[in-house]
Amino acid sequence: MAAFKSIGKLERFKGAEECFYSDNGYIYTDILGGPKAANYLKNFEARKDDILILSFPKTGTTWIQEIAYLIGTNLDFETAKKVHANSRVHYMERYREENPTDFSKIPSPRFLKTHYPYSLLPTSVKESNCKIICPLRNPKDTIVSYYFFSKANVLMDYSGDLASYVDDFVNDKVIYAPYWKYILECWEKRHQDNIMIVMFEEMKKDLASNVRDVAEFLGKSLSDEDVEKIVKHCSFDSMKDNPAITKVNSTVIRHHISPYMRKGEVGDWKNHFTEDMNEKVDRYIEKYFSDTDLKFTYE
């Protein structure tokens, strides 16, 4: 695991008591991926049948984890409606010193999620060849979604407006940044047999096809009826009305500022960006993605 350097508090993230740079340049807070969590995870023992969602925040984590959970449990809709997602899909680096997750006691197959990039995963994960699903989302919608989440999340408590957030994002000064580096780490691993890339925008366009692709990746067979049931359960409106997904403690998420599931749309950035914001993000995209074969969809 990485070494960390304290950088104190990020100016506009009032909820983060202390922030850190990892030795490869990512930003974490003390309880969201920082040295305590990393030290705890260094002894993590991966299993070959683990299913891991590896994602930058607000790129479709909750969506794809619900799909993977249903497929991996042979369509256990009953549990998916009764047991909260956070108790079914375990957030690896959300470290609670008073009550850390004992991963060894979770029965297989374990469903895990992380906002660590591939380079910061525990060694055993990389060696296990377990299944890793990486959702990607265009940077403009990611920024808008992450901004509202950062405002509502008590552990982040972002104090600035969207214009400030755009500046912080493109200058790699938000928690879990740099986005560009994170996304390119995923993209560079796309040819590994145990890694699957899913595009948020493609899921919005044709969820059924993506469900079938995930099932094939996980070695599961689904009937057309099975796919239809998963698509219905995992539609945005259905998930938004499922308390097993959206019921998050108000001491963590201030729902009056922004709901846990806000819109889930492609192109919502157009409702929020000014021309100046859009130009800044376009320059960011040009700088980091123009020389790659990764292309985003923005509407």
252 pLDDT band, cuts 50/70/90, is: confident
Tokens of 6: 């304290």
- The packing angle between helices 162-170 and 275-289, to 10°, is 20
For the beta sheet containing 19-22, the strands, ordered from the edge strand earlier in sequence to the opposite edge, are 4-8, 19-22, 27-29
Q: How confident is the model at residue 65 (pLDDT cuts 50, 70, 90)?
A: very high
Q: What is the percent of the chain with per-residue pLDDT over 70, rounded to a whole number? A: 96
pLDDT at 113: 97
* Closest to 45 (Cα-Cα) out of 119, 118, 108: 108
Give the pLDDT of residue 248.
63
Long-range contacts of 13-19 (CB under 8 A, 24+ apart): 13/150, 13/156, 13/157, 13/158, 13/159, 13/174, 13/175, 14/157, 14/158, 14/159, 15/153, 15/154, 15/155, 15/156, 15/157, 16/155, 16/156, 16/157, 16/175, 19/175
Q: For the segment 253-269, what is each residue's pLDDT rounded down to a tens digit?
A: 787 766 655 678 899 99
Of the listed 84, 90, 115, 233, which one is catalytic? 115
Give yes or no for residue 250 having a pLDDT over 60.
Answer: no
What whole-number distance in Å separates Cα of residue 101 and Cα of residue 99? 7
Residues 3-47 have pLDDT tens digits of 899 999 999 999 998 999 999 999 999 888 999 999 999 889 999
Q: What pLDDT, on a 0 to 100 scale, did the predictor assign at position 244?
A: 85
Domain boundaries, the chain: 4-140+175-249
- pLDDT (mean) for 186-201: 97
Answer whether 60's CB lies under 8 Å from 200's CB: yes
196-230 pLDDT, tens per residue? 999 999 999 999 999 999 999 999 999 999 999 99
User: Is 115 tagged catalytic?
Assistant: yes
- Name residues whose C-beta falls within 8 Å of residue 275's C-beta, 6 or more positions apart in sequence: none
- pLDDT over 90, % of the chain: 83
Instruction: Please name the residue ranges forming H helices in the chain.
Output: 35-41, 61-72, 77-82, 85-88, 123-128, 139-152, 162-170, 179-188, 200-205, 207-217, 224-233, 236-240, 243-246, 275-289
Q: What CATH superfamily is the domain 4-140+175-249?
A: P-loop containing nucleotide triphosphate hydrolases (3.40.50.300)
CA angle in degrees (0–180, nearest 5) for 168-170-32 = 60
Instruction: Tell me if 239 sits within 8 A of 63, measured CB to CB.
Output: yes
Q: Which residue has the higher pLDDT, 250 or 278?
A: 278
- What is the predicted pLDDT for the residue at 31? 82
Spatial CA neighbour of 132 closest among 197, 70, 72, 207: 197
Tell me the per-residue pLDDT of 102-126, one tens digit each, with 9 for 90 and over: 999 999 999 999 999 999 999 999 9
For the cut 60, the answer to whether the pLDDT of residue 249 exceeds it is: no
Q: What angle do CA 280, 281, 284 make, to 5 degrees?
A: 95
Predicted pLDDT of residue 251: 59
In this prediction the pTM is 0.95
C-beta separation of 27 from 6 below 8 A? no
Q: What share of the chain is helix, strand, coil (3-state, %, to 5)?
A: 45, 15, 45
* pLDDT single digits (tens) 160-179: 999 999 999 999 999 999 99
Q: What is the mean pLDDT of the chain?
A: 93
